[in-house]
Amino acid sequence: MNDHARRVQEQFGAIAAAYVSSPGHARGDDLDQLVAWGRALSPARVLDLATGGGHTALAFSAITRRVVACDVTEPMLRAARGLLQGRAAAADFVAGDVEALPFGDGAFDVVTCRIAAHHFANVAAAVREVQRVLRPGGSFLLQDILGHDDAEAAAFVTEVERRRDPSHVRAYRAAEWKAYLRAAGLTPIESAVVMKGRPWDEWTTRARMTAEARAQLEAFVLAAPEPCRAAFDFRVAGGRVESFTDRMLLLRADRD
Residues of this chain that bind ligand SAM (CB under 6 A): 5, 8, 12, 19, 25, 50-53, 55-56, 71-73, 76, 97-99, 114-116, 119-120
Residue 98 or residue 253: which is nearer to ligand SAM going by CB? 98
CB of 121 to ligand SAM, least distance (A): 7
Give dist(CA 217, CA 232) in Å, integer: 15
Could you write out the three-class secondary structure of the chain?
CCHHHHHHHHHHHCCHHHHHHCHHHHCCHHHHHHHHHHHHHCCCEEEEECCCCCHHHHHHHCCCCEEEEEECCHHHHHHHHHHHHHCCCCCEEEECECCECCCCCCCEEEEEEECCHHHCCCHHHHHHHHHHHEEEEEEEEEEEEECCCCHHHHHHHHHHHHHHCCCCCCCECHHHHHHHHHHHCEEEEEEEEEEEEEEHHHHHHHCCCCHHHHHHHHHHHHHCCHHHHHHCCCEEECCEEEEEEEEEEEEEEEEC
Residue 38 or residue 53: which is nearer to ligand SAM going by CB? 53
Give dist(CA 49, CA 242) in Å, integer: 31
Widest Cα–Cα separation across the chain: 55
Cβ-closest residue to ligand SAM? 52
Phi, psi of 111 (to 5 degrees): -120, 130
Residue 114 or residue 229: which is nearer to ligand SAM going by CB? 114
CB of 243 to ligand SAM, least distance (A): 18
CB of 161 to ligand SAM, least distance (A): 12
CB of 236 to ligand SAM, least distance (A): 26
CB of 222 to ligand SAM, least distance (A): 26
CB of 55 to ligand SAM, least distance (A): 4
Residue 23 or residue 136: which is nearer to ligand SAM going by CB? 23
CB of 54 to ligand SAM, least distance (A): 7
Residue 19 or residue 156: which is nearer to ligand SAM going by CB? 19
Residue 22 or residue 255: which is nearer to ligand SAM going by CB? 22
Residue 87 or residue 240: which is nearer to ligand SAM going by CB? 87
